[in-house]
């Protein structure tokens, strides 16, 4: 069941982001992630924050948590559908990872992020039919 307190706080975080107040939004979102670790919405908000901070890889990692907790984010028929945004973020992260791997092919973090890209692409493909 939806948690009204959580929904209200996520809306507040989104409003802060809209107004360019990323630091305050970040503090609130980190708080929500630790308070509600089994709800996808704080992770979606974290992904949105990371996009605004121009950190597509971190955004993708946050969206992965969100999608693992709430597959509806990738279900076109669900009211929570966020597939387009997630797909674009994964694409952007993939380009960045591939570019960085050219410079440093042994980087274990990048290799692990690339695995996450493929995982997310499979999830997206499986959901968007």
Task: Answer whether 111's CB lies under 8 Å from 127's CB.
Answer: no
Backbone dihedral region of 54: left (phi > 0), alpha (psi from -120 to 50 degrees) or beta?
Answer: left
Residue 101, classified by CB atoms within 10 Å of its CB into exposed (0-12), middle (13-18) or buried (19+), is: middle
The span from the CA of 11 to the CA of 94, in Å, is: 29
The span from the CA of 70 to the CA of 80, in Å, is: 9
The span from the CA of 100 to the CA of 6, in Å, is: 37
One digit per residue, the tens of pLDDT, for the chain of length 129 reads 679 999 999 999 999 999 999 999 999 999 999 999 999 999 999 999 999 999 999 999 999 999 999 999 999 999 999 999 999 999 999 999 999 999 999 999 999 999 999 999 999 998 754
């Amino acid at each position: 069941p939806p948690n009204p307190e959580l929904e209200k706080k996520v809306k507040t975080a989104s409003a802060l982001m809209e107004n360019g107040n990323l630091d305050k939004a970040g503090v609130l979102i980190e708080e929500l992630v630790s308070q509600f670790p089994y709800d996808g919405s704080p992770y979606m908000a974290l992904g949105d924050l990371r996009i605004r901070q121009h950190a597509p890889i971190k955004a993708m990692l946050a969206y992965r948590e969100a999608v693992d907790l709430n597959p509806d984010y990738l279900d076109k028929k669900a009211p929570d559908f966020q597939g387009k945004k997630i797909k674009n973020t994964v694409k952007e992260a993939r380009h960045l990872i591939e570019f960085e791997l050219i410079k440093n092919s042994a980087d274990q973090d990048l290799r692990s992020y690339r695995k996450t890209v493929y995982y997310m692409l499979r999830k997206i493909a499986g959901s968007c039919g």
